[in-house]
Amino acid sequence: MDNHIKNTVEFIERKKDDVMMKLKKLLLLCCLLTVSVLGMAQENKVEMADTMRSNGRIYVVVAVVVTILLGLILYVARLDRKITRLEKENK
């Protein structure tokens, strides 16, 4: 009787172990899969100026470029005014 009981306990313990092993294997597989998927995602991602935009620094570039544009337009407008004055003098 005693022997028999001992055996069943052992049997149950071994079964438990088996389940744990299976779970561990499954977990490892999941981990590997996620890592590989993440790696693939990284490969497909195109580098853009995300960091610059997250820092809000792209606006600095826009400000500089717009300033230059406004300066040039102001220059052209002043030229326009000067030529108009010349035209009036020559009439």
Partner 1 sequence: MYKSWWKIASIILLLYTFTAGFLLEVPRLPPLQETIRNLYFHVCMWFAMMILFTISVVNAVRYLRTFNQKYDIYARQYAVMAIVLGLLGYITGAIWASYTWADPNKPVMNSFSSIARDPKLIGAAIALLVYFAYLILRDSIQDMDKKARISAVYNIFAYAILFPAIWILPRILPSLHPGNDGNPALDVKNDISGNMRMVFYPAVIGWTLLAVWITTLKIRLSLLKEKKMMS
Q: Which residues bind partner 1 (CB under 8 A)?
A: 46-49, 58-59, 61-62, 65-66, 69-70, 73, 76-77, 79-81, 83-84, 86-87, 90
72-to-62, 66, 69, 83 alpha-carbon distances in Å:
15, 10, 5, 17
Decide: 58 and 49 in contact? Cβ < 8 Å: yes
Phi, psi at 46, each rounded to 5°: -90, 135
Q: For residue 49, give both structure tokens.
A: 């100026």
CB of 42 to partner 1, least distance (A): 13
Complex with partner 1: residue 20 or 58, whichever CB lies closer: 58
Helix (H) or strand (E) holding 27: helix 2-44
Complex with partner 1: residue 35 or 69, whichever CB lies closer: 69
Complex with partner 1: residue 34 or 84, whichever CB lies closer: 84
CB of 46 to partner 1, least distance (A): 4
Complex with partner 1: residue 27 or 83, whichever CB lies closer: 83
